[in-house]
Amino acid sequence: MPATTKSRSTKKKAAPVAAAAKGNSQLQEFFMDALKDIYWAEKKLTKTLPKLQKGATTQELKNAIEEHLSQTQEHVSRIEEAFQMMGKKAQAKKCEAMEGLVKEGESILEETERGSMTRDAGIIAAAQKVEHYEIATYGTLVTLAKTMGENDVAELLAQTLEEEKQTDQTLTGIAESGINWEAEQEESDEGEEGEEEEEEE
């Protein structure tokens, strides 16, 4: 009588259960929160950049700010498109970081002399702080979108990331083209007051 052979199990191993359904992961919640944050920030900039442009001294800087304002309006539209691609309604959440950077930029207009190169140097410094914040934010968003498999969203936001980097380089070029050097030649009011006090003594 032939020996009985054990039947081999034909059951396939069960696929690992996803930690969370697509669209509800903690990472996506974090991503959406960051997207709301930068959405508010970009919309805030569309109101702030015209003030900086009006306060700028050189035409070169005015033109650069005007061009970036146009780009910023496009950035707002891209974020709205990203929300749509993610199946979400576009919502803004107050960005405390951008609020602080904007206030710093506005204080520079108050503290520097109209028509001076020092004012332009200050505006460029404030604008580049904004650019660096945006570069960091968009860089993170692009990486996270890729991680979640949202490659179309990543590609969309990567366009904005490259434009922010280019703007930062443009501002550096303007500053180094002569504005910083001319600003250094300008006498401060404090220096003049100090000289007057010495003469009185």
In this structure, are residues 85 and 150 in contact, taking their beta carbons and an 8 Å threshold? yes
Amino acid of residue 200 = E
What's residue 188's pLDDT?
A: 73
Q: What are the residue ranges spanned by the domains of the chain?
A: 26-184
What one-character DSSP code corresponds to residue 6? P
What's residue 18's pLDDT?
A: 38
Residue 108, token pair as written in the block? 């520079």
- The architecture (CATH level 2) of 26-184 comes to Up-down Bundle (1.20)
Q: How many angstroms separate the CA atoms of 18 and 65, rounded? A: 47
- Is the four-CA dihedral 107, 69, 37, 165 of positive or negative sign? negative
What's residue 11's pLDDT?
A: 47
Amino acid of residue 191 = G
Amino acid of residue 54 = K
Element (H, E) at 80: helix 59-85
Residue 105 Rama label (left phi>0; alpha psi -120 to 50; beta)? alpha
Q: Which residues of the chain have pLDDT under 70?
A: 1-24, 189-201
Q: How many CB atoms lie within 10 A of CB 97?
A: 15
In this structure, are residues 101 and 49 in contact, taking their beta carbons and an 8 Å threshold? no
pTM for the predicted model, two decimal places: 0.81
